[in-house]
């Protein structure tokens, strides 16, 4: 089962995502940016969902450190209320893969996350030749 770490100081958004994603993913929540890197190291998530403006989180430095520690590409999905083009461009420059505007439903995030991972129910058995 893939592990998802949610970093957000918006407790309502984090609760909704936790409830909506927990059926198919193991979830770890973090509401304080100062704890995020230590929890990332311990949990070793398969993907991150984060609000780059979370309290005590320097989004740019955190993403840079995650990218340097990861053993491969880790999908990073950003949630934000800020829609200024410069902020969006900066997020992509930092290494964010996808940006969603808040509030965002767990269903939208689940669809995007599912696209990053091969799930057993998505694999079709090979068809016999001549069928």
Mean pLDDT by 10 residues, the chain (131 residues): 93 90 91 92 95 85 90 90 70 85 90 82 65 58
pTM of the entire predicted model:
0.83
Distance CA 120, CA 98 (A): 24
The domains found in the chain, sorted by start residue, are: 3-119 (3.40.50.2300)
Both tokens assigned to 69: 């520690």
Report whether 36 contacts 55 (CB < 8 A): no
Distance CA 56, CA 59 (A): 9
Kindly write down the DSSP assignment for every residue of 64-83, as one continuous string. Answer: HHHHHH-SS---EEEEES--
In this prediction, residue 42 carries a pLDDT of 95
Distance CA 63, CA 4 (A): 15
pLDDT digits (tens, 9 = 90+) for 111-123: 999 988 876 555 5
In this prediction, residue 84 carries a pLDDT of 61
């Amino acid at each position: 089962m893939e592990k998802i770490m949610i970093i957000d100081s918006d407790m309502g958004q984090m609760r909704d995502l936790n409830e909506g994603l927990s059926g198919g993913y193991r979830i770890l929540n973090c509401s304080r940016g100062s704890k995020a890197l230590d929890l990332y190291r311990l949990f070793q998530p398969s993907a991150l969902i984060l609000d780059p403006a979370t309290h005590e989180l320097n989004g740019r430095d955190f993403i840079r450190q995650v990218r340097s520690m990861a053993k491969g590409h880790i999908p990073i999905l950003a949630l934000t209320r800020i829609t200024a083009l410069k902020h969006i461009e900066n997020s992509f420059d930092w290494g964010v893969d996808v940006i969603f505007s808040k509030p965002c439903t767990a269903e939208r995030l689940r669809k995007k996350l599912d696209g990053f991972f091969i799930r057993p129910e998505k694999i079709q058995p090979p068809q016999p030749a001549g069928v």
